Chain A
Amino acid sequence: GENVEQHPSTLSVQEGDSAVIKCTYSDSASNYFPWYKQELGKRPQLIIDIRSNVGEKKDQRIAVTLNKTAKHFSLHITETQPEDSAVYFCAATIPQTGANNLFFGTGTRLTVIP
Chain B
Amino acid sequence: ETGVTQSPTHLIKTRGQQVTLRCSSQSGHNTVSWYQQALGQGPQFIFQYYREEENGRGNFPPRFSGLQFPNYSSELNVNALELDDSALYLCASSFGGKREGKLFFGSGTQLSVL
Contacts and interface: CB of A to CB of B under 8 A. Distances in A.
B102 A44 contact: no
Interface stretch (B11-19, B39-47, B73-81): B39-47
B90 A100 contact: no
Interface string A90-111: 0101000111111111110000
A80 to B, nearest CB: 22
A104 B108 contact: no
A43 B105 contact: yes
A45 interface: yes
Contact of B100 (A6, A99, A101): A99
Contact of A107 (B33, B41, B98): B41
A34 B102 contact: yes
A29 interface: no
B interface residue count range (under 10 / 10 to 19 / 20 to 34 / 35 or more): 20 to 34
A83 to B, nearest CB: 19
Contacts, number: 74
5 contacts: A34-B102, A43-B105, A100-B56, A100-B94, A101-B98
A61 interface: no
B56 A44 contact: no
Given A43-B105, A46-B103, A46-B104, A100 B44 contact: no
Contacts of B33: 100-101
Given A34-B103, A43-B90, A100 B43 contact: no
Interface string B56-89: 1011000000000000000000000000000000
Contacts of B104: 46
A44 B105 contact: yes
Given A44-B105, A98-B55, A107-B40, 7 more contacts: A43-B105, A43-B108, A44-B90, A49-B102, A100-B97, A101-B33, A102-B101
A100 B98 contact: yes
B45 A103 contact: yes
A100 B107 contact: no
Nearest to B106: A43
A101 B50 CA distance: 13
Interface in A59-89: 89
